[in-house]
Amino acid sequence: MSSAQEWPPLPPISTGIRGRCPRCGQGHLFDGFLKLRSHCEVCGLDYSYADPADGPAFFVICFACVPSVILALWLEAKFAPPNWVHLVITLPFMLATCIPPLRPLKGWLVASQFFFKAEEARFGMPAPARKPAAPANGADRRSD
Protein backbone atom coordinates (compact mmCIF):
# COMPACT_ATOMS: atom_id res chain seq x y z
CA MET A 1 0.00 0.00 0.00
CA SER A 2 1.08 3.56 -0.59
CA SER A 3 2.61 5.42 2.34
CA ALA A 4 0.83 8.58 1.16
CA GLN A 5 -2.58 6.93 1.47
CA GLU A 6 -4.98 8.61 3.87
CA TRP A 7 -6.24 6.39 6.67
CA PRO A 8 -9.45 7.18 8.56
CA PRO A 9 -8.96 7.57 12.31
CA LEU A 10 -9.93 4.37 14.11
CA PRO A 11 -11.01 4.31 17.76
CA PRO A 12 -8.11 3.05 19.90
CA ILE A 13 -10.37 1.03 22.18
CA SER A 14 -11.65 -1.22 19.38
CA THR A 15 -8.36 -1.69 17.54
CA GLY A 16 -6.20 -1.99 20.65
CA ILE A 17 -8.31 -4.51 22.54
CA ARG A 18 -8.48 -6.74 19.46
CA GLY A 19 -4.70 -6.42 18.96
CA ARG A 20 -5.04 -4.83 15.52
CA CYS A 21 -2.99 -2.12 13.81
CA PRO A 22 -4.08 1.32 15.04
CA ARG A 23 -3.82 2.81 11.53
CA CYS A 24 -5.51 0.26 9.24
CA GLY A 25 -7.31 -1.97 11.76
CA GLN A 26 -6.35 -5.07 9.75
CA GLY A 27 -2.76 -6.00 10.62
CA HIS A 28 -1.66 -7.65 13.83
CA LEU A 29 -0.11 -5.64 16.65
CA PHE A 30 1.49 -8.50 18.58
CA ASP A 31 4.07 -11.12 17.78
CA GLY A 32 3.47 -13.48 20.69
CA PHE A 33 1.60 -12.78 23.90
CA LEU A 34 2.96 -9.32 24.77
CA LYS A 35 5.77 -8.70 22.25
CA LEU A 36 4.96 -5.99 19.70
CA ARG A 37 5.70 -6.59 16.04
CA SER A 38 8.19 -4.30 14.35
CA HIS A 39 5.61 -3.11 11.79
CA CYS A 40 2.13 -3.81 10.42
CA GLU A 41 2.07 -6.47 7.73
CA VAL A 42 -0.86 -4.76 5.95
CA CYS A 43 -0.15 -1.01 5.92
CA GLY A 44 3.51 -1.01 6.94
CA LEU A 45 3.10 1.22 10.02
CA ASP A 46 6.31 1.16 12.05
CA TYR A 47 5.53 0.33 15.69
CA SER A 48 8.79 1.76 17.02
CA TYR A 49 6.85 4.80 18.33
CA ALA A 50 5.01 2.57 20.80
CA ASP A 51 6.17 2.48 24.39
CA PRO A 52 3.40 1.55 26.82
CA ALA A 53 6.08 0.95 29.49
CA ASP A 54 4.49 -0.31 32.73
CA GLY A 55 1.00 1.02 31.96
CA PRO A 56 -0.70 -2.37 31.47
CA ALA A 57 0.89 -3.78 34.61
CA PHE A 58 -0.17 -0.73 36.61
CA PHE A 59 -3.80 -1.05 35.54
CA VAL A 60 -3.82 -4.79 36.25
CA ILE A 61 -2.32 -4.22 39.70
CA CYS A 62 -4.94 -1.59 40.50
CA PHE A 63 -7.99 -3.37 39.17
CA ALA A 64 -7.22 -7.09 39.40
CA CYS A 65 -4.47 -7.77 41.92
CA VAL A 66 -5.94 -5.69 44.71
CA PRO A 67 -9.27 -7.60 44.66
CA SER A 68 -7.32 -10.87 44.55
CA VAL A 69 -5.38 -9.91 47.67
CA ILE A 70 -8.59 -8.79 49.36
CA LEU A 71 -10.10 -12.22 48.57
CA ALA A 72 -7.08 -13.95 50.10
CA LEU A 73 -7.22 -11.80 53.22
CA TRP A 74 -10.97 -12.32 53.56
CA LEU A 75 -10.55 -16.10 53.24
CA GLU A 76 -7.83 -16.06 55.87
CA ALA A 77 -9.75 -13.87 58.31
CA LYS A 78 -13.13 -15.60 57.89
CA PHE A 79 -12.16 -19.28 57.68
CA ALA A 80 -8.44 -19.53 58.64
CA PRO A 81 -7.91 -22.28 56.04
CA PRO A 82 -4.68 -24.22 55.59
CA ASN A 83 -2.19 -22.90 53.02
CA TRP A 84 -3.16 -25.46 50.38
CA VAL A 85 -6.64 -23.89 50.20
CA HIS A 86 -5.05 -20.59 49.19
CA LEU A 87 -3.09 -22.42 46.51
CA VAL A 88 -6.30 -23.98 45.17
CA ILE A 89 -8.56 -20.91 45.41
CA THR A 90 -6.55 -17.69 45.59
CA LEU A 91 -3.73 -18.50 43.18
CA PRO A 92 -5.98 -19.53 40.25
CA PHE A 93 -8.25 -16.54 40.89
CA MET A 94 -5.23 -14.22 40.84
CA LEU A 95 -3.82 -15.75 37.66
CA ALA A 96 -7.22 -15.67 35.93
CA THR A 97 -7.79 -12.01 36.75
CA CYS A 98 -4.25 -10.68 36.25
CA ILE A 99 -2.80 -12.30 33.12
CA PRO A 100 -5.63 -12.13 30.52
CA PRO A 101 -6.12 -8.32 30.70
CA LEU A 102 -2.44 -7.55 30.00
CA ARG A 103 -2.59 -7.98 26.21
CA PRO A 104 -5.79 -5.96 25.57
CA LEU A 105 -4.56 -3.19 27.87
CA LYS A 106 -1.19 -3.03 26.14
CA GLY A 107 -2.90 -2.95 22.74
CA TRP A 108 -5.22 -0.17 23.89
CA LEU A 109 -2.30 1.92 25.18
CA VAL A 110 -0.30 1.48 21.95
CA ALA A 111 -3.35 2.36 19.83
CA SER A 112 -4.02 5.39 22.03
CA GLN A 113 -0.43 6.58 21.56
CA PHE A 114 -0.92 6.42 17.79
CA PHE A 115 -4.40 7.99 17.84
CA PHE A 116 -3.40 10.93 20.05
CA LYS A 117 0.06 11.29 18.45
CA ALA A 118 1.79 10.92 21.82
CA GLU A 119 5.49 11.73 21.82
CA GLU A 120 8.31 11.70 24.27
CA ALA A 121 8.55 14.88 26.33
CA ARG A 122 11.19 17.36 25.19
CA PHE A 123 12.49 19.20 28.22
CA GLY A 124 14.94 22.05 27.79
CA MET A 125 13.75 22.98 24.32
CA PRO A 126 12.92 26.66 23.92
CA ALA A 127 9.29 27.48 23.34
CA PRO A 128 8.46 28.78 19.86
CA ALA A 129 8.54 32.58 19.73
CA ARG A 130 5.15 34.20 19.36
CA LYS A 131 4.55 37.48 17.62
CA PRO A 132 2.76 40.10 19.73
CA ALA A 133 -0.76 40.85 18.57
CA ALA A 134 -1.04 44.05 16.54
CA PRO A 135 -3.24 46.76 18.06
CA ALA A 136 -6.58 47.35 16.35
CA ASN A 137 -6.53 50.07 13.66
CA GLY A 138 -2.80 50.54 14.16
CA ALA A 139 -3.32 52.66 17.30
CA ASP A 140 -2.01 51.89 20.75
CA ARG A 141 -5.00 52.08 23.11
CA ARG A 142 -3.20 52.00 26.43
CA SER A 143 -4.31 54.59 28.92
CA ASP A 144 -1.64 56.88 30.35
Instruction: Write out pLDDT tens, residues 74-103.
Output: 999 999 999 999 999 999 999 999 999 999
pTM of the model: 0.77
Instruction: Write out pLDDT tens, residues 116-140.
Output: 998 877 787 766 666 665 555 655 5
**CA pair distance 104, 78, nearest whole angstrom:** 35
Does the pLDDT at position 107 exceed 90?
yes
The two counts, helices (H) then strands (E), for the chain are 5, 0
**CA pair distance 37, 63, nearest whole angstrom:** 27
Instruction: Write out pLDDT tens, residues 45-61.
Output: 999 999 898 999 999 99
